[in-house]
Amino acid sequence: MNHLPPRIVCESGLSGVVVHARGALVTRALRVPRDLPDGEVELEVRGITVLCEPGSLRAALPEGASRSLVAVRAVLELPKGPPEPGSTVSRVRALERTRQRLQDELDRRARARDALESLTLSPRWRSEAIGARINDALESANVADSVLSDLDGRVLGLRRALEDTERLLEAALLEDAQATSRARQGEAHPTRGAVLRLAGSGAVASLSLTYAVPAARWWPVYTLRLSDAGKRARWIHEALVAQRSGEDWTGVALALSTADMVFDARLPTLPSLRLGRAQPPSRSGWREPPADLDRLFVAYDKGLAPPPHGALSLEEPGRPLAKPRPRPAPSGPGGFQAMDSLRRAEPEAPKEAPADERALGDDLDDDLMMPVAPLSMGAPKGGGLLSGLLGGGGGGAPMAPRAKAKRDEGRRVLDASGMTRAGGYLPGPSSASEEPSEPGALEPSQGWQDYDRLRLAGPEERGSRGRLRRVEDTASAALRAQALAALEGASAPERARDPLQSRGLFDHRYEAEGKCDVPSDGGLHRVPLGEGESPSTQRWRTVPRERPEVYRELELRNPFDAPLLAGPVEVYLDGSLLAVDQLDRIDRGGTTQVGLGVEERVKVARNVTMTEDTAGLLKGDTVLTHTVSIELSSALGTAALVDVVDRVPVSDDKTVELKTVRSAPEGDPYTQTERGEPLRGGRCWRVIVAPGAKARVEYTYTVTIPSRNELVGGNRRD
């Protein structure tokens, strides 16, 4: 006889969380007693959120532990009493009921007032005298005015009470939205637990349990603080984390990952194409049930199983029944009682098992229902009703069960005691010469290999005993989907970018600094990830063709050992907020440019001169000579490195000749690809302007137009 291992309830606490691009992995540290009994022992962990994925539970022992981990399974813990919501939820519901009651009362009073106001007074005159009639009319009007005044006062009071209730309800809704999930849930709500089975002996130094929750995500945000007129730059890397897991993350080691959360960590099987001998198919975890599965329940059916509904029970297994007492002949109104007792002994129609509790064999095909080997069982002597029901003849003829029932007979298969799966008996003997057919080699779908959702049916479940069945936790799945939809539907931070959009080809994990607190309220919570000093290089840039201004820029290098994802950045210059901009992804070791606005101490001027001449054999070609002069003047106390960007004309017409004649200093081609808007004909000059001095850029280009063409429209000078 098997003895269940002892079960010990262990306390646990959250120790670490890894938030992925979608979802999070939560780790609990178990406080295991040091005096564990030797051999197998079960540790039970309670209080896990019901919104976790039950198939994601994983446990880990330290390396070199004297004990080994045998199994981990999830259990659903239901409360003993009715659920009681938290204080914030109770207050919101009470105020909503009060508002509805006041609104209904206000509508009723308003309808009564409108009906009374629309009435026309027609009093019955008690006298023919005019004075009496006037008195009656005035009396009726006074009564109506009194009632209307009373209704007006009540309506006004109800409206004021309704406005006060709506203000209180708005404040209560705000408080409830900012409350944590644990505070909103209150008491007596379903939770999930975990049972860990250990084997071996000795003390357990540490034991951790990890599970996944889907409703969690994060966004990167940055702060750039510039000091000493932009010569020093300090990056502050942070993240906004939101989660609705049903449990607060208090004092945990938090990490953020750009990777997708994958439960199945098995290596993929890559298909291969080979010429030659056929390769054996890959093995799966599916194993067919044994052919003599029902033989395991022979002793249970004979000694422990209750008799089917309406069938006569045996006093002792293996012995014939005592002769039944004679019943009186049916007479009078109760003459049908004997016939009713006989009808109850007839076999009942088999009932189809529910879809979610159907056995593995029933869900696939009849070929997966294992045939039962013929077993002989002597029928009791004496014949009569019992002999006919059991299929025995005049003596002790053996009975051979059928190998497999037909589909139109309700899929009934005999077990070793002669009972069908529906719990009744088959009348009449079967032929002992029938041979059981071999089952087909079928494999179930991948859903049947989700072992965390499979349960082994007990012996009392005759439709599926000894076989696996799928148990779907639809209630918890609906709660997880609701929490995930609420988190995805929430508005993202301004200028924030999803890590899935800028993570690139490789994933990275960011470790938070210190311990973090993230309540389960769906709100945004700022988490520090690190700070770093970045060397900055000041540059000035001007595009005088477009704007007569010079802009100051800083070229900054990524100071972290990880890439900076796209997200909002706040730029502070000497303690004052300068700008809020969008930061593009910066790889590890990469650089970015930060604009600091217009530099008033550096001026630029662009002048163009154009001369027109003729050329060619017959002087028919038109030659346009352009000279562009760009002058820079600086009032800075230090030298300034200015990038001067300009553009020369380009043409796709092969008959038009464009040629740069002279450039001082020499410029480099500029395509503007780093800004995502490439251009043609760009030139860039890097000019150093001394403190309080001037600098000049000058270049000349010619445009030669054939005699048969002419220049139409456009700016001839530029």
DSSP-assigned letters across all residues of 547-574: -S-EEEEEEEE--SSSPBPSEEEEEEET
Q: pLDDT confidence of 48, banded at 50, 70, 90?
A: very high
646 three-state secondary structure: strand
Res. 145: pLDDT tops 70: yes
Q: Which neighbouring-strand residues pair with 602? A: 634
Could you tell me the residue ranges of all domains in the chain? 87-185, 215-258+503-599, 292-311+354-380+387-432+459-484, 602-705
Q: Residue 9: which H helix or E strand, with range?
A: strand 7-19
Which of 373-377, 458-462, 645-649 is the most confident on average?
645-649
Average pLDDT for 27-32: 93
Q: What is the pLDDT of residue 82?
A: 78
Q: What's the rounded Cα separation, in Å, for the pair 223 and 575?
A: 12
Quick one: pLDDT at residue 267? 65
pLDDT of 437 reads 41
Please give the Cα distance from 554 to 231 (Å, whole number): 9
Decide: residue 609, CB within 10 A, 0-12 exposed, 13-18 middle, 19+ buried: exposed
The answer to whether the predicted template modeling score (pTM) of the entire model surpasses 0.85 is: no
Q: Which run of H or of E encompasses 213?
A: strand 207-213
pLDDT in tens, 508-541: 999 999 999 998 888 899 999 999 998 888 889 9
- Residue corresponding to tokens 């009348």: 427
Indicate the pLDDT class of residue 11, thresholds 50, 70 and 90: very high
Note whether 296 and 417 are within 8 A (CB).
no
Residue with the bigger pLDDT between 330 and 63: it is 63
Predicted pLDDT of residue 1: 46
Say whether pLDDT at 414 is over 80. Answer: no
Closest listed residue to residue 538, CA positions, set 587, 580, 584, 599: 599
Count of beta carbons in the 10 Å neighbourhood of residue 574: 11
**239 token code pair:** 């993240």
Closest CA to 216 of 251, 247, 237: 247
Structure confidence at residue 527 (pLDDT): 94
Say how many C-beta atoms besides its own lie within 10 A of residue 157's C-beta.
Answer: 13
Over the chain, what is the mean pLDDT? Answer: 76
571 close to 612: Cβ distance less than 8 angstroms: no
Higher-pLDDT residue of 327, 493: 493
pLDDT per residue over 639-651, tens digit each? 899 999 999 888 8
Q: What phi and psi, each to the nearest 5 degrees, are found at residue 84? A: -120, 115
Q: Identify whether the C-beta of residue 263 lies closer than 8 Å to the C-beta of residue 378.
A: no
Query: Three-class SS of residue 359?
Result: strand
Q: Which residue type is seen at 696?
A: R
Strand ranges (DSSP E) for 442-549? 454-456, 468-470, 509-518, 525-542
Query: Using an 8 Å Cβ cutoff, are 218 and 459 in contact?
Result: no
Burial class (CB in 10 A: 0-12, 13-18, 19+), 99: middle
Over residues 91-117, the pLDDT tens digits come to: 999 999 999 999 999 999 888 888 888
**What mean pLDDT do residues 226-241 have?**
89
Banded model confidence at residue 426, pLDDT cuts 50, 70, 90: very low
Q: Which fold has domain 602-705?
A: Immunoglobulin-like (2.60.40)
CA atoms within a 13 Å half-sphere pointing along the CA-CB vector of 396: 7
